[in-house]
Chains A and B, each alone.
Chain A
Amino acid sequence: MNLAVGTLAYLVTRTFRNRVITMARRLRQPKYALGFAVGVLYFGFIVFGQTRGGGDGPNLFQNDSFRALAPLFLVLILAMGWFASGAQSALAFLPAEVALLFPAPVTRRELILYKLAGAQIPVIVNALILAFIFGGGLQEIPRWLAFASLWTMFATISLHRLGAALVRASLAEHGVAGAKRTWVSYVIGLTVLAVIILAVVPHQVQLEGASSPIDFMSRFEQLLSAPAVRAVLYPFALMIAPAFAQTVGEWSLAMIPAIALLAAHLIWVLRSDVAFEEAAVEASAKRQAVIDNVRRRGISGANEATPKATRTIPLGSTGHPAIAIVWKNLLGLMRTTRPSQFIGILVLPVVAALILGKRSGDPALIVAGVTGMIAMVTFIAGPMTVRNDLRADLLNIESLKTFPLRGRELVLAEVTSSALPLSLFQFVLLGIAAVALQSSQKPLPFGVTIAVVVTLPIALFGLNLCYSTIQNGIAVLFPGWIRLGSEGQGVGAVDMMGQAILGMMAMLIAFLICLILPALVAFIVFTMVKPPAVVAAGFVMVVGSLALVGESYAMMLGLGRALERLEPSQVG
């Protein structure tokens, strides 16, 4: 075996082994042991539920509509690697890897192979989770075959993301020189996009005639069955075909092209590497020519980087110090998100109204429905992506602990930092939904709308505060088990789906448990006060939300004490 490859393989395996040992050693601490026990019960509950209900439940992979739309979903997932910000993280190396491996006698190709090998560990873990924990309702074939299908698919996606990151890095580093070397990748991507657009746009009328979202999806599915679309989506359909196989025979046949595609991706990634190096050499030569030219003319070659004009929020130097934490975190959020991301979300209901509203005759109702749905999605997915709280700040625990703040003040400020912007965004969305609903043909009674809109801010803040407290609580109590830092799972990280689903379900269960007490309080107060019917909904929301805020604050007091005892050596 090549010496460098052997050394890098040693590094991957020892890192994995030592990580597992470190995690196991943490179980000596009572809180980790308790967390582990809860986790085992949670897994058992899911597996038991799958085994009992798996055979009777609807099989997603036997659904024809899902099968027809799945290649398009895959295109969208892969497209994120090309266009979304943050997708470059696929190329990221750790500081220790940069310091020790980059100057070492290791080729760039070997480094990429090392990166690929390292990426296989989470891919395998997630495929195992999906196949063996959630696999009951997925496929009829044995679970180890389901695991192989999922591994092939996720590994291909992972490779694709790395390839896209290499191409983007090449373009960013070397401009036109990089583009010349990566044009094939762009031609393929643009062809797929163009064919889908050309197939859908001429039949827009058919889509506009849809009477409901289900009818819309059904018509869209028909458009995707056009020969040209099927042709461009064919490789993507092949990539996921093993996951849809219902017999061992079908699976065996489907695996051959899927593995071929995996191999093709591997070759592409390694070839991208070669192109990357060539582009670098070409760009270096051009840069040298520019430098020589400048020297000949006697012009200073120094190019001072101009400071970036950044938007800011004013902050007074006096007042409660915890506000400084919220200010810092909001600035961080502001600087890691782009306004276009929010505008894109707000445009979606308008597009839906334009397409579906004509047929239904009530575009305002469509806007209200879609906006409300987006608000619901942001409630569940928002706290997983907006991480400008302790999940990001714990990496700076040494600084945090020198600040003149009590633990509870710090936790409150950190939790508010993510709960507040999420609540504001959801309030805007639900406000739009309320206005649209009032303009629709089926408006709610005005009193109800006003009651809901008035009580909505406190309800949203209460719900988000509780959800964020749970997320931050896990970071404080189990910092060694979760990913810290402001970066989320990463766009298009479908290969991390298993862990994401497990995490999200656990959070939701914890959240639902937290809702029990406030619901009881709201019920008791409601039966005691018996408010008039017109304000009943708003009354219950306010009482329940206040109880939820109180419960969240009680949790924060406990977390504050835990944070005061948390030490830098326990983080990471």
Chain B
Amino acid sequence: MIVVRELAKHYGAVHAVDGLSFDVQPGEVLGLVGPNGAGKTTTLRALCGIIVPTRGLVEIGGHDIQRDPVPAKRALAFIPDEPHLFEYLTVEEHLRFIARLYGVADAESRMGPLLAELELSDKAMAMPRELSRGMKQKLAIACGLLHDPSVLVLDEPLTGLDPGGMRKMRATIAARARAGSAVVLSSHLLQLVEELCTKILVMRQGRAVAFGTIDSIIATRPEFAGRSLEDVFLTLTGDAAQQ
């Protein structure tokens, strides 16, 4: 579903991402973890076609995101950590807009339940400036889920959500994966990663330092046995010495 091969993104001498390769199959949830500046957001942006890789291949549903971007983008949804909304569209109009962009024929029947699920029903006619930070994030999530994407890319998905919203979001991600979506999420919340992700990719300075299930990563070194994911993460990313 998601194929990444030798992905690299360089900004002059800075190698934000360098030689990253991984696959995410339908039903899998890949957690992208790493310290600040590790290249997680750059990777997510390259997956969604927001930035052009310096080299490498990204395929979404069998389509090269650079050469054949329209079908690739039609299959995916990107939910960034900072919601990017249109200033002059109401909540409901955001969904209508997305419905047209992605050709969601049964949008009318999907919009109501989606707004209710995200507790936005009474804000349907509100402009983004009338929404709180959390509500904006919920609207961005609603926009991402409306067209039932087969690939879901989330950057810090719980940012700005209240505890109830966080619980629902975790349930939504799990449900989407069970329904056959391939999910990639980036988060500093290791508990979330541990709870939801079937595989994790630990990044450091643009490179993968570990990739696989949590158990398989722990099994790679004897000293990881019995340690928490946080300890494993800090050791892998070289932050343990700083603690």
Contacts and interface: CB of A to CB of B under 8 A. Distances in A.
Contacts, number: 99
Nearest to A566: B52
A321 B93 contact: no
B88 A305 contact: no
A317 B104 contact: yes
Interface stretch (A182-190, A228-236, A357-365, A397-405): A397-405
B238 interface: no
B240 interface: no
Interface string B81-105: 0001011111001001101111111
B225 interface: no
Nearest to A321: B101
B49 A317 contact: no
Contacts of B100: 315-319, 321, 323-324, 327
Contacts of B101: 321, 324, 403-405
Interface in B38-56: 45, 48-52
Interface in A535-569: 564-565, 567-569
A212 interface: no
A530 interface: no
Contact of B97 (A324, A336, A401): A324
A429 B107 CA distance: 39
Contacts of B93: 312, 328, 331
A191 B89 CA distance: 42
A324 B147 CA distance: 15
B86 A328 contact: yes
Given A312-B93, A317-B100, A317-B107, A404 B73 contact: yes
A243 to B, nearest CB: 39
Interface in A291-326: 305, 307-310, 312, 315-319, 321, 323-324
Nearest to B71: A404
B112 interface: no
Nearest to A304: B122
Interface size class of A (residues with CB under 8 A): 35 or more
Task: Tell which of A307, A308, A396, A404 has the most Cβ of chain B within 10 Å.
Answer: A404
Nearest to B48: A402
Contacts of B71: 404
Given A404-B74, A486-B87, A567 B50 contact: yes
A405 B49 CA distance: 11
A335 B99 contact: no
Contacts of A180: none
A421 interface: no
Contacts of B233: none
Contact of A307 (B73, B105, B108, B123): B123
Contacts of A327: 97, 100
A315 B97 contact: yes
Contacts of B126: 307
A398 B80 contact: yes
A440 to B, nearest CB: 41
Nearest to B72: A404
B175 interface: no
Contact of B84 (A310, A324, A399): A399
B97 A568 contact: no
Nearest to B79: A402
A397 to B, nearest CB: 8
Given A317-B96, A567-B51, A404 B102 contact: yes
A52 interface: no
A328 B78 contact: no
Given A317-B96, A405-B70, A567 B87 contact: no
Contact of A315 (B87, B96, B105, B125): B96
A398 B88 CA distance: 17
Contacts of A405: 70, 101
Given A315-B96, A399-B84, A404 B70 contact: yes
B125 to A, nearest CB: 4
Contacts of A403: 73, 101
Contacts of B96: 315, 317
Nearest to A316: B100
A351 B123 CA distance: 45
29 contacts: A307-B123, A307-B130, A317-B96, A317-B104, A317-B106, A317-B107, A318-B103, A319-B103, A324-B97, A324-B101, A331-B88, A331-B89, A332-B89, A335-B88, A396-B86, A397-B50, A398-B45, A401-B48, A403-B101, A404-B69, A404-B71, A404-B74, A406-B69, A406-B70, A486-B87, A567-B50, A567-B52, A568-B45, A568-B51
Interface of B: 11, 45, 48-52, 69-71, 73-74, 76-78, 80, 84, 86-90, 93, 96-97, 99-108, 123-127, 130
Given A308-B127, A403-B73, A406-B70, 20 more contacts: A307-B123, A308-B125, A312-B90, A317-B96, A317-B104, A317-B105, A317-B106, A318-B100, A321-B100, A327-B100, A328-B86, A331-B88, A332-B87, A396-B84, A397-B50, A398-B45, A398-B84, A404-B71, A567-B52, A569-B11
Interface of A: 305, 307-310, 312, 315-319, 321, 323-324, 327-328, 331-332, 335-336, 396-399, 401-406, 486, 564-565, 567-569
Instruction: Report, nearest first, the 7 A-B pairs whose CB atoms are least far apart.
Output: A324-B100, A332-B88, A317-B99, A307-B125, A317-B107, A404-B74, A404-B73
